[in-house]
Structure 1
Amino acid sequence: MTTATVSPFRFFDLVADEVERLSPTMIRVSFAGPALGSMESAGRDQRIKLFFPHPGQDAPVMPDDDGSDWYPAWQALDPAVRGIMRTYTTRTLTRDPDRLVVDFAVHGETGPGSRWALHAAPGDRLSTLAPIVAENVAYDFRPPAGTGWMLVTADETALPAVAGILAALPAGVPVRAWIEVADAGDRLELATAADAEVTWLVRGEDAPAPDALRAAELPGGTPYAWVAGESATVKAVRRHLVRERGIDRRAVTFTGYWRRGTTEDQLLAAAEPA
């Protein structure tokens, strides 16, 4: 007897209904969709896949699949027409009405996500692969039992995840955060009940995150660190925390959201043959 496996993720069609410029490099898009009532989120740094149309398409071309075997189905489509896949963070998922909000870090016309967000308008269509169960494997912020305080470093690409993390933390939890952004106007209000001290680093004006962290006096006790952003910077921060600060490597979650000089398409192409 064969037991069917139900995927915790599925495809959703999205329609933009509100577009807001938050800062020089951040655009917020609110999406509606007839099936968003079944979408779930763990909050924090919940990852989703967004699929963008190619120029000239009204909507992304997607596999005829419910999401249970999505990657081979997407991979089998012609790359010249299939939806262009990128990874983003669920900023918020709300009910009554059902809305998915995604914040886009924009950097000109050089990438499909940035290009789409810069020109986004109500009625524009995307697709997403998102969870249908709140507890899922697509988030990384998981402080272990016994954590005394939190350390967070990020750049603007991980700012939506930082906002989700801070919003999810209970009152009084000590947090030290360093966030590197491209422009002073990118410093956003981050709502939290935690006892959070946020240091904003403006690229080209302030010390980069590894240097700023190296010069900082950190609290005592047992930390949990969440580190995200450009891959080389993430590695440098992790190396400092583990080797120089002596933080248990098992208490450091690190994720390269992007790699300087490399597109996600190139990373996918390199990984697929392996």
Structure 2
Amino acid sequence: MTSNPFRFFDLHVLRTERLSPSMARITLGGEDLDRFADGGRDQRFKLFLPQPGQEAPVLPDERGDGWFPAWQAQDPAVRSIMRSYTVSALRQDPLELDIDFALHGTTGGPAGRWALAARPGDRISVFGPAVADNGGVDFRPPPGTDWNLITGDETAIPAVAGILDWLPAGTPAKVWIEVAHPDDRRPIPTEADAEITWLVRDPARPDRCRQLVDAVRAAELPEGTPYAWIAGESGTVKALRRHLVSERGFDRKAVKFTGYWKLGVTEEDLIAEAIREAAEGSAAGEADEVQARAQAERNA
């Protein structure tokens, strides 16, 4: 009996939709999607893509608690390409799962290139939640939170949209989203009292993280006890966390920060780094935490 709150789902592409210059939506189907237990908010899961030339992802035989070391032990040239993504939408009638991909053209990562080429019938797998209250949901404001600060780039739009959809009506929220193109901006439905600021990235700026950081630094923030959720490029995320904690006085425990990707670094590099750190850890709990961090790193 596995204790893992996640399980594998073998799925296939139903349809594709180009949402904006930098975003595409892939809708997936599968007979057992009724067992996919979306926790809402920023629910993440692992996506397994086939290597070029393969009809389906090559997964490890072990699909229980030991799936990660089993996947790691496979031939890197053959094993499936693993990435982390956020649920954009899950529907029960009909059974459909939407995933939004940030695109970077032919120079982007394997997931973005796969999304650009995806056609109905293409086969992929996901390692997704089997219970609604699972470890793949990070947005958890504690009791006593008066307002929320949320930031992200285009890779975080699905998570930001899920969070804003989940927030109770009237909940104060200050939101900044950085995108590559003006047409990447889109309506985000919410009943929260959310002030959403869209920032269009200036490609001429050499300081990749400063635009979003400068916007938050210049903002007048509400009174009361805040909770911050920060996601996107790792360098930007770290700079924002440093600003909020050191300059704004946010409680460290009230700032949830996740690097979805890192400029100039692939997810394979991030996973390898986390594995090395886990091997050096003296306690199993430390290794588990490092592995969880590696699985939270995302790269389009």
TM interval, short-chain normalised: over 0.9
Residue of structure 2 in register with 1:180 after alignment: 178
Identity rate of aligned residues, in percent? 61
Residue of structure 2 in register with 1:54 after alignment: 51
Residue of structure 1 in register with 2:112 after alignment: 114
Q: Is the 8 A contact 1:51 1:85 kept in 2?
A: yes
Question: Among residues 167, 170, 178, which one is paired with 1:169 in the alignment?
Answer: 167
Q: CA deviation at 1:235?
A: 0.7
Structure 2 unaligned segments of length 5 or more: list them: 278-300
The structure with the largest helix share of the pair is: 2
Deviates more, 1:58-67 or 1:11-20: 58-67
Q: 1:73-130, CA deviations, whole angstroms, 9 ceiling, x for partnerless residues?
A: 2112111111000111111111111111100001122311000001111111111100
Q: Is the 8 A contact 1:27 1:117 kept in 2?
A: yes
| Separation in structure 2 between the aligned mates of residue 67 and residue 25 of structure 1, nearest angstrom | 35
| Separation in structure 2 between the aligned mates of residue 17 and residue 144 of structure 1, nearest angstrom | 38
Matches within 5 A, 1:1-274: 4-109=1-106, 110-204=108-202, 208-274=211-277
Q: CA deviation at 1:195?
A: 0.7
SS at the partner of 1:240? helix
| Separation in structure 2 between the aligned mates of residue 271 and residue 81 of structure 1, nearest angstrom | 21
SS at the partner of 1:42? coil
Q: Is the 8 A contact 2:2 2:64 kept in 1?
A: no
TM-score, normalised to structure 1's length? Answer: 0.96
TM-score, normalised to structure 2's length? Answer: 0.88
Q: Is the 8 A contact 1:40 1:93 kept in 2?
A: no
1:24 alignment partner AA? P
Q: 1:220-260, CA deviations, whole angstroms, 9 ceiling, x for partnerless residues?
A: 11111000000110011111111111111111100011111
Structure 1 unaligned segments of length 5 or more: list them: none
Q: Is the 8 A contact 2:89 2:98 kept in 1?
A: yes
Q: 1:159-181, CA deviations, whole angstroms, 9 ceiling, x for partnerless residues?
A: 11001100111110011000000
Q: Which runs of 4+ in 1 moved over 4 A?
A: none
Q: Is the 8 A contact 1:167 1:192 kept in 2?
A: yes
